Amino acid sequence: MPTSRDVVFVDGVRTPFGRSGPKGLYAETRADDLAVRVIRELMRRNPGLPPERVDEVAIAATTQIGDQGLTIGRSVAVLAGLPKSVPGYAIDRMCAGAMTAVTNVAGGIAFGAYDVAIAGGVEHMGRHPMGEGIDPNPRFLSEKLVDGSALVMGMTAENLHDRYPEIGKERADAYAVASQEKVAKAYANNKIQPDLVPTAIRTGALGWGLATEDEPPRPGTTMEGLASLKTPFRPHGRVTAGNAAGLNDGATGCVVAAADVAAELGLTAKMRLVSYAFAGVDPEVMGVGPIPSTERALRLAGLSIEDMGLVEINEAFAVQVLAFLSHFGIADDDPRVNPYGGAIAFGHPLASSGVRLMTQLARQFGERPDVRYGLTTMCVGMGMGGTVVWENLAWEGAK
């Protein structure tokens, strides 16, 4: 049996995220072409990685039909020009698709099945709305296995407000405003742009163009503006388009490798995977998923939440983040949490978001040699959570 090897995150990139719909950035762009763009950029940025040394391509998509079908990991590997000897496959764990792609290939690397892999995700929610083509088994409701609200993510967020009444709409709106402000500041300080892949787009009568920045952020968002938004999931509810992530299009990808192989190839590893965990919760309150997954991942790592100097949590809904922070005794405005802002501003193209979290954490690690550990975490549709604990390879204590 091979011994376990250290697994490292070498590099991560993403396309700019777009708003879904006929007027969005990628309305006339194929989903698989977004993923191809990411893979090509990873190879360009890492010239020390020979294409034939890529052992696997794992790409996630929640809706695996149309241009997100055809075993998308394999199809985009071929389209990106990788050798046809490089295999690939598709993954679906809804919002945690890209996160699962990373943990899957990491397990293979640790075991010795792979040396280097590319993992990521893509979601074109404009072409493939959430739930397109699905046929939920009637037993879910007839046998009361889940409440009907479990199948509508916005309703699960309203349920979470019921469970945590201290998290009212005003607190959720305040968190959303802060997320928008942090994203605007990160852009102003050039924290986001280095890991964005300029992506060719076609916009009807305007012809060809280039997407170079995220479309969803709304700088200048105010509490007054959010207060006036409708609550579409419940009359007089608390969840709005302003304190939740939108419907978005985009792709992410990263290079993951064995630590010794990265060194052999001259690749600069940014962080080491310490532990990971996924957990299930009641689907009706899927937003609490990151709580048990984080508790388990920390337990496996022999660490505590106090050891985490940085936390990247996906902002599917403000209430879901606030429930996590409250559980762990973390203040709403703790500077460790989403320093560059989150999905309420950036957007959340479902299966792609896990690697966005990792890419941002890796960049923050490079700026913070005083921080040794951080985590990436997210809630997942149908009642799950996922968490990965990372070690900063630029940590000053290692020198």
* Amino acid in position 4: S
Q: Confidence band (pLDDT; 50, 70, 90) for 103?
A: very high
Rounded to an integer, the average pLDDT of 140-166 is 93
**Which of 124, 128, 161, 348 does the annotation list as catalytic?**
348
Rounded to an integer, the average pLDDT of 158-182 is 97
**Which of 124, 161, 254, 379 does the annotation list as catalytic?**
379
- Which residue is listed with tokens 């207060």? 227
**Amino acid 202: pLDDT:** 84
The Cα–Cα gap between 210 and 398 comes to 41
Q: Confidence band (pLDDT; 50, 70, 90) for 134?
A: confident
312 Cβ contact list (under 8 Å, min separation 6) = 338, 342, 357, 358, 360, 361, 364, 374, 375, 376, 377
**Amino acid 278: pLDDT:** 98
**Closest CA relative to residue 307, chosen from 298, 315, 316:** 298
User: Is there a catalytic annotation at residue 254?
Assistant: no
**Amino acid 3: pLDDT:** 65
Q: Confidence band (pLDDT; 50, 70, 90) for 78?
A: very high
Rounded to an integer, the average pLDDT of 59-74 is 96
45 within 8 A of 11, measured Cβ to Cβ: yes
Between strands 248-258 and 199-202, the pairing is unpaired
**Amino acid 397: pLDDT:** 82
Which pLDDT tens digit goes with each residue over 341-377?
A: 999 999 999 999 999 999 999 999 999 999 999 999 9
**Which of 95, 124, 128, 161 does the annotation list as catalytic?**
95
User: Is there a catalytic annotation at residue 236?
Assistant: no
The Cα–Cα gap between 191 and 187 comes to 6
3-state secondary structure the chain: CCCCCCEEEEEEEECCCEECCCCCCCCCCCHHHHHHHHHHHHHHHCCCCCHHHCCEEEEECCCCCHHHCCCHHHHHHHHCCCCCCCCEEEECCHHHHHHHHHHHHHHHHHHCCCCEEEEEEEEECCCCCCCCCCCCCCHHHHCCCCCHHHHCHHHHHHHHHHHCCCCCHHHHHHHHHHHHHHHHHHHHCCCCHHHECCEEEECHHHCEEEECCCCCCCCCCCHHHHHCCCCCCCCCCCCCCCCECCCEEEEEEEEEEEHHHHHHHCCCCCEEEEEEEEEECCHHHHHHCHHHHHHHHHHHHCCCHHHEEEEEECCCEHHHHHHHHHHCCCCCCCCCECCCCCHHHHCCCHHHHHHHHHHHHHHHHHHCCCCCEEEEEEEECCCEEEEEEEEECCCHHHC
**Amino acid 369: pLDDT:** 97
The Cα–Cα gap between 373 and 393 comes to 9
**Residue 239 pLDDT > 90:** yes
Higher-scoring residue by pLDDT: 126, 206: 126
Q: What is the mean pLDDT of the chain?
A: 96
**Amino acid 4: pLDDT:** 83
Which pLDDT tens digit goes with each residue over 216-237?
A: 999 999 999 999 999 999 999 9
314 within 8 A of 378, measured Cβ to Cβ: yes
Between strands 18-19 and 248-258, the pairing is antiparallel
Model-level pTM?
0.96
* Amino acid in position 87: P
Rounded to an integer, the average pLDDT of 274-279 is 98
**Amino acid 2: pLDDT:** 54
Residues in the chain: 399
10 Å CB burial of residue 53 (0-12, 13-18, 19+) is middle
233 Cβ contact list (under 8 Å, min separation 6) = 152, 154, 155, 157, 158, 239
**Amino acid 1: pLDDT:** 46
